[in-house]
Structure 1
């Protein structure tokens, strides 16, 4: 079959146009886009303070570390959305317990501050647990391909609110899991069991509300898309949990066909676990975790639980006393022993 020169020329031009379109898409659109340098985004936090006696590590960007689940790995994300550059011992306990229980997973500590101070925790725990990876992420980049981007760029997340860092964390956690896929955990947990078999999962926080403190989705999951869409339309910076439990509960109610609150266990593409799975101690009785109890192995006390959630916004200023017999101290001795030793080297409270 003969093809004239005009036809060949048209086909060549068409091929060139298609290549150009594909090139533009892969560099500007779609998920997992890390082509824009981090330093082109306006900073969220001030530069870390430096003194002669304080060493600060500048953290790599998470997108430069390529943690996508497509390579068969399992991502677990913990997020520090304030501008701190050092971590409370209970955050280190969360990291250590997750890393110990899930040695094959990549445990990402994502800090919006972009820096982490050197101290005894960093120099002891990070070498001991090589699966802990400390990184930063800019919210504008994390949220760029989500319906939540406008909330960030308009600064609605920190307008007329007493908890801007909470609002920011609620948004960024959704973007991270949407982009990269994996399990998000609040940084006030103690991990009691391996987590890497959890897929497209969340849990009830109480009888009527789904929790946003622990959830897993594969990248671009339709339920997560619905949650973000709901949050983008209902977000109010002065309403606690507007893009957290409220958005999760409403979106899943719609996705699963109006299931009765508290009874749903499964619907298409989603597993919903009972309250005790992630939140065995309900928020109204959070003090139970910190008062002396009769000695009993934590795994026996909470046999069906993956996590012990400590409700940091309520309990953050409540001290843990070493050898007091509290549930938290017993859990720390078993699941984050090195953190406990370091935290109590000079004081019995942590």
Structure 2
């Protein structure tokens, strides 16, 4: 075990400063590593809202031996772009050196000037590469929009995983080099949940020695389509599970039951397609490698989800040796190779076409009936973001938020009736 370079409270080792974690040096294991700068739990610790930063250092993973029944994706040529949108600004935002911690002015609802911190990811200490003590005990959520102030619904998703799964390490990965500690809210979450970590990512190092490096370096995902933020998220979710294993969750998914499903679990999103909002894989599983290969070969800039749900569906079809996934649905949960497919109720109990149902007044009365077999609930933010959660409406979303993300719900409704 080693010490973090630079100023640190009480000059303790990493494991002592972060008493709820135990870390291993990457050089001891010869594996990918993370940068972690953890927010101090109390002002008595003598430090100012330091959040850990995360990135991969020199990953050297070899391609696994191909497994019978698993094939690479389609080889059709990538289509002509339909938009000229670029993610250059967001990409530079990921890799730029974070500035020092600074105070920014703010006002509360009563117009009283107050001082609130911007938490800088990796800006207060020189970073050292470390990895979590155990693989596959992680839950990753990712923001790829370079957003320094995520919405309350995003925080609700993050908090729910920490609240419902105290035995798992929850990693919120941000592409922004700083996060607004508005009203001290992110710090409140970090203080309440010792298993929650807010981190940054060096994506360029994460793709090294993986099939996704070809697609990432081509920049086609940035320039030749209208969804660069979503495509970056599609890549990052697979990369974190390849390197470290565990569970990936979109930030519009609320955890409502401890995740005790076996790793290498996926869920039906429709009768014909596997969803990509929740992935569960052991680290360096061969199916992840094949998924990355398929994402490269099957990328179509004009097709929504070409490297998301459509990619994982193609790979699962090959693994299960079926043309139509609907034939397996009555048998769920069903295992193909080392992957278990779960029914729609597990993660996607409400179809995206019915997303308004989450926000209907008094809809929460049927919460237990609708979600009785669910482990997590996808709220389809792309379809439902314009529907508001109204305090006191007892909607499905409000019932879930009050129970599974109580701090976020309380903060969101402290001075407003909707969020």
**TM > 0.5 fold call:** yes
How far off its partner does 1:138 sit? 1.6
Equivalent residues of 2:57, 2:129 under 8 A apart? no
In structure 2, the residue matched to 1:22 is none
Instruction: Verify: 1:179 aligned to 2:243, yes or no.
Output: yes
Structure 1 residues 276 and 263: CA distance shift in structure 2, 3 A = farther
- Of 321, 341, 350, 1:272 maps to 341
Cα deviation, residue 315, structure 1 = 1.4
CA distance in 1, matches of 2:364, 2:151: 26
Residue equivalent to 1:16: none
Residue 13 (structure 1) aligns with: none
Greater relative contact order (CA < 8 Å, ≥ 6 in sequence): 2
Match of 1:57 in 2: 119
> How much has 1:93 moved relative to structure 2?
0.7
| SS of residue matched to 1:347 | coil
Matched, 1:109 2:168: no
- Do the aligned residues in 2 keep the contact of 1:203 with 1:278 (CA within 8 Å)? yes
Gaps of 5+ in 1: 1-25, 37-41
Match for residue 66 of structure 1 among 120, 124, 131: 131
Q: Which residue of 1 aligns with 2:92?
A: 43
**Is 2:145 the counterpart of 1:82?**
yes
Indicate whether 1:339 and 2:408 are aligned: yes
**Aligned-pair RMSD on alpha carbons?**
2.5
Q: CA deviation at 1:293?
A: 3.0
In the alignment, the residues of structure 2 paired with residue 338 and residue 198 of structure 1 have an alpha-carbon distance, to the nearest angstrom, of 29
* Residues 57 and 205, structure 2, Cα contact 8 Å, conserved in 1: no
Among candidates 73, 80, 92, match of residue 155 of structure 2:
92
Partner of 1:126: 190
- Is the partner of 1:173 in helix, strand or coil? helix
The TM-score with structure 2 as length reference comes to: 0.71
Deviations 1:136-161 (A, max 9, x none): 11211111121111211121111122
| Partner in structure 2 of residue 32 of structure 1 | 32
What is the number of residues matched between the two proteins? 317
Aligned counterparts of 2:302 and 2:118: Cα–Cα separation in 1? 34
Determine the structure 2 residue equivalent to 1:258: 322
| Aligned pair partner of 2:361 in 250, 273, 292 | 292
Of the two, which has the highest radius of gyration?
A: 1
Are the aligned partners of 1:93 and 1:190 in contact in 2 as well (CA < 8 Å)? Answer: yes
- Structure 2 spans left out of the alignment, 5+ residues: 1-25, 34-55, 59-90, 106-115, 329-333
The structural deviation recorded for 1:319 is 1.1
Q: Using structure 1 for the length normalisation, give the TM-score.
A: 0.84
Asked if 2 retains the 8 angstrom alpha-carbon contact of 1:193 and 1:306, the reply is: yes
Q: Distance in 2 between matches of 1:212 and 1:285?
A: 18
* Mapped pair 1:325 → 2:394: yes
Whole-Å Cα distance in 1 between the matches of residues 353 and 128 of structure 2? 38
* Alpha-carbon contact 1:293-1:326 (below 8 Å) kept: yes
Cα distance between partner residues in 1 of 2:97 and 2:225: 24
Cα distance change of structure 1 residues 235 and 279 upon mapping to structure 2, 3 Å threshold = same
